[in-house]
Amino acid sequence: MLMDRISLLLVIVGALNWGSVGLFRFDLVAWIFGSQTALGSRIVYTVIALAGLWCVSLLFRDRNAREEML
């Protein structure tokens, strides 16, 4: 449950970053770390990608099982 929320939050951050790239040509992650190829940027991009993969599992989970966990 906690991992689901953290992953969803990271995916939202990634989506907002890509939105800013598309609309304003501004990559917030690259700006923070100096470039897209900086180690920090690459780590953030990788963590967000892993969170996206985790969120794919949310599509295939049984809704009733999730509600029982709450």
pLDDT digits (tens, 9 = 90+) for 53-65: 999 999 988 876 6
The position carrying tokens 């990788």 is: 46
Structural domain harbouring 13: 2-69
CA 12, 18, 19, 24 dihedral sign is: positive
Phi-psi region of 34 (alpha: psi -120 to 50; beta: other; left: phi over 0): left
Q: Tell me what the mean pLDDT of segment 33-42 comes to.
A: 96
Number of domains composing the chain:
1
- Name the pTM for this structure: 0.81
At residue 62, the pLDDT reads 81
Question: What does the pLDDT look like over 8-30, one tens digit per residue?
Answer: 999 999 999 999 999 999 999 99
Both structure tokens of 70: 């709450």
